[in-house]
Amino acid sequence: AQRVTQPEKLLSVFKGAPVELKCNYSYSGSPELFWYVQYSRQRLQLLLRHISRESIKGFTADLNKGETSFHLKKPFAQEEDSAMYYCALSGSSNTGKLIFGQGTTLQVKP
Amino acid sequence: EAEVAQSPRYKITEKSQAVAFWCDPISGHATLYWYRQILGQGPELLVQFQDESVVDDSQLPKDRFSAERLKGVDSTLKIQPAELGDSAMYLCASSLAVDRKKYFGAGTRLSVL
């Protein structure tokens, strides 16, 4: 079964601390993995995708096929990073359908 | 920057009533998605259109939900009759193609009393 698991509902850190939002997936194939973010009172938007292998707003994520994980990391959290983060996968069916995890709220305290 | 438009933003209805949500994708976007997001969960795909054709409606409760995208532009999602468990945020998203970046609307929050 296709599934995305985000084990933490809430992650609270202090400004300047490192952040790691965990994401594990279950998929029998080669999925494409994404991180989406929703800031307060804003729309859900794409943060990054694994095939781009880029850093957005200081965030990076590496796909680990052996551990079926796609954790989101940032070395130094900023208050403006406080938001809801969703991990999602798109399978190889070429429909573009996204399967989302339950989301993790990141709270960065001053 | 162009945005996906959804209306209404909020809808309160009573059980067994009919409700409808509207989505206007970004101009030129051929692919349109309707997602349902229950409080505390991630969005779940209900239906996907490619132009005016349904590509995936496997998770759409077809006994009460219907969706259409006449002319391949804007789309309507209908629920009849609404049930208490339908209370959720209904999100619309669009993209140029299935493998391109998806843009989400602000959503319609439905409360069924």
Kindly tell me if the per-residue pLDDT of A53 is higher than 90: no
Residue A75, token pair as written in the block:
């070395």
Percent of all residues in chain B with a pLDDT value above 70, rounded to a whole number: 100
Q: Do B56 and A95 touch (CB under 8 A)?
A: yes
Determine which of B10, B23, B95, B102 to mutate to test the interface with A (most A C-beta atoms within 10 Å): B102
Give the residue-averaged pLDDT of B56-85: 95
pLDDT, position A91: 78
For residue B77, what are the CA distances in angstroms to A110, B48, B57, B100, B110? 42, 11, 12, 23, 12
How distant is the Cα of B4 from the closest Cα of chain A, in angstroms?
10
Q: Does B26 touch chain A (CB under 8 A)?
A: no
DSSP character for A94?
S
Helix (H, G, I), strand (E, B) or coil at B53: strand
Is residue B64's pLDDT more than 70?
Answer: yes
